[in-house]
Amino acid sequence: MNRYSLNQATTKYWPLEDVVAASAKAELSWIGLWREPIQEYGVEKAAQLVKDAGLQVSSLCRGGFFTATDPAERKAKIEDNRRAIDESAALGTDTLVLVSGGLPPGSRDLEGARSMVRDGLAELAPYAEERGVRLAIEPLHPMFCSDRCVVSSLGGALDLAEQFPVQQVGVIVDAYHLWWDADVYRQIERAGARICSYQVSDWTVPLPADTLLGRGMMGDGAIELRRLREACDAAGYTGPVEVEIFNQELWDAPGQEVFDLALARYQEHVA
Amino acid sequence: MNRYSLNQATTKYWPLEDVVAASAKAELSWIGLWREPIQEYGVEKAAQLVKDAGLQVSSLCRGGFFTATDPAERKAKIEDNRRAIDESAALGTDTLVLVSGGLPPGSRDLEGARSMVRDGLAELAPYAEERGVRLAIEPLHPMFCSDRCVVSSLGGALDLAEQFPVQQVGVIVDAYHLWWDADVYRQIERAGARICSYQVSDWTVPLPADTLLGRGMMGDGAIELRRLREACDAAGYTGPVEVEIFNQELWDAPGQEVFDLALARYQEHVA
């Protein structure tokens, strides 16, 4: 279990202190954190809490959202991403997860939007490296391409990442977003040392009305989670495996119950 | 307008005779047909109706659904696909659209399911060629991968198609399913003479509860429809461009109104 990391978004309404305590009690090494609740709790205070529990932060979610036609808006996003980098450094994680942003309103220029992502990375990458943080591009499922993330495949994420040194920009391999891709195993091999994290949940149908909350518990869906994990391992990835599930039913369930279930399902379907 | 083809599924509740008459009156050359309503109307009778109106059938939708763990079920599907080939020949179209089928219930073996698709194609391809019909694999959007179509990208479709002679197996380039792919222009070039049809609708959000009915009218969404059409042209495709929209609001509107709107939007956004 030394690679297991529960992202706190999986137990969204559970207080940070509870998920940290549960992770420590289960003798885990890692925990995944989310910016908004950490800002609310206090970044320095959260860093201390995690450290005192003997945990390390696997990643901070999330920066990005680079795509905007208004230059002032793009500049504001860059500033926000600098803060996210500072927060990552303060929390002691080397991985800042970036969601690219969708098409600007009214635009159909997908290549233009992807260029904005590249430009954002270029502005931030040296700043991040100086602070020991790597920018981790997370390709999202193609159903989010227009409104959330114009980077929709691991190949597309690597096309961007490879324009930067490997210690500056990497990628997130999230099974939920990538499992359907006939090219995914080849792209994981290509990713190699660019892999910043392997994240797991499961693909279940039908999708809920809010498609952001469609992720299932490992084992409840269609994804070969262990095989994808083994492919990441074979590509040289030895870091934490993060459980990240957005699901209203799980959010409404008691935190400890979800914590225990996720851990058991990880052992059964991923480890 | 000599490439324009309205697929009858776009005006689902409009009688075949009306959509044929409207297409003839608009001096179109093509019409796209759907198996179930054609079977109901009578295949021979439909062929005569279309011919008398001076139209050609751009494609017949659809065969496929090859993925099943039960051999008897797979065999029944092959038989049904033979009928679909016969119907295509009777209607005078050289293009039978195939939707691959999703993962068999309870299975996570995506590669196994894709092998079933390949085996199905192998059984049918010579039979189809003898009747002047090409099997056209349609990759569906990755959100349909688990339950409808394990072929989720143009690259994946070509990986299958290229195992067969070009006159036996081709691919459908449907903008709705493929627009998000960072690799799509390269894959269209790769497809070349394998392109059996270019189909258009538009990507709009949010998705409806029934995600099958999420397609928007051209111009209402995020897709660079003209650019994709030009890429197909550059790859050597000179055939019909089919409008295929599944959308409850459009289905509920008067057929002639939708017919006129689709034609106008095609000229504005695709031609």
Q: What domains, with CATH codes, occur in chain B?
A: 4-269 (3.20.20.150)
pLDDT score, position B1? 81
Q: What is the pLDDT of residues B38-79, one digit of tens each?
A: 999 999 999 999 999 999 999 999 999 999 999 999 999 999
Answer for the pair B213, B248: CB distance below 8 angstroms, yes or no: yes
A182 contacts B114? CB cut-off 8 A = yes
**Residue-averaged pLDDT of chain A:** 98
Nearest Cα to Cα of residue B208 among B270, B140, B143: B143
Residue written as token pair 């009688």: B15
pLDDT band for position B246 (cuts 50, 70, 90)? very high
Q: Is the per-residue pLDDT at A137 higher than 90? A: yes
CB atoms within 10 A of CB B100: 29
Q: Is the per-residue pLDDT at A271 higher than 90? A: yes
Residues in chain A within 8 Å Cβ distance of B222: 103, 108, 110, 145-146
Q: Is the per-residue pLDDT at A48 higher than 90? A: yes
Determine whether B70 is exposed, middle or buried from the number of CB atoms within 10 Å of its CB (0-12, 13-18, 19+). Answer: exposed
B106 contacts chain A (CB < 8 A): no
Instruction: Give residues 166 to 205 of B whose Cβ lies within 8 Å of A.
Output: 179-183, 203, 205
How many pairs of residues across A and B have Cβ atoms under 8 Å apart?
87
Q: Is the per-residue pLDDT at B163 higher than 90? A: yes
Q: Is the per-residue pLDDT at A1 higher than 90? A: no
Q: What is the pLDDT of residues B89-138, one digit of tens each?
A: 999 999 999 999 999 999 999 999 999 999 999 999 999 999 999 999 99
Q: What is the pLDDT of residues B178-236, one digit of tens each?
A: 999 999 999 999 999 999 999 999 999 999 999 999 999 999 999 999 999 999 999 99
B221 contacts chain A (CB < 8 A): yes
B214 contacts chain A (CB < 8 A): no
Cα B97 to Cα B119: distance, rounded to the nearest angstrom? 17
